[in-house]
Amino acid sequence: MARIKVTEDAVRITLNSREDIWFWERRFNVFDFLEFFPIEAVAESQPEGGMSKRGMILNFATDAGFEFTSDIVRDGFFLRNQSHGTRRWMNEAKPQPGDTIVIEKTDVSHYRLCKDSVT
């Protein structure tokens, strides 16, 4: 099971196995570190890609050279924009067991998603 360490400025998710990678490829579940994000970013369920107009939008810059926006789906506590965001990042970053997914807070609604590799 992935190890999650949360500080005021960052979340570090260490992937221990291929199963951890598989899990995070499918969905960035933020339940275990929901308090890291503004509660205003949690929004009602909607179809993929349709973010709430009432909630706060989170902006992510990545080390893969692209940016994406998302909110957090209330019914599952995961980042909504998967196809153009988290899944794309996992595909391009290609994390391996032992690598760490890092989500750094740069301001209230801006984050940096990057990989800290063991190699």
Question: Beta-carbon neighbour count of residue 84 at 10 Å?
Answer: 15
- State residue 45's pLDDT score: 75
Spell out the per-residue pLDDT of the chain, length 119, in tens: 899 999 999 999 999 999 999 999 999 999 999 999 999 999 887 655 555 556 789 999 999 999 999 999 888 899 988 888 999 999 999 999 999 999 999 999 999 999 998 76
- State residue 81's pLDDT score: 80
Any idea what the Cα angle at residue 1 is, between residues 118 and 4, rounded to 5°?
65
Structural domains of the chain, ranges and CATH numbers in brackets = 3-116 (2.40.330)
β-sheet with 72-73: strand ranges across: 42-43, 72-73, 78-79
Any idea what the Cα angle at residue 72 is, between residues 71 and 76, rounded to 5°?
150
Sign, CA dihedral 83-86-90-92, equals positive
Indicate the residue type of 77. Answer: F
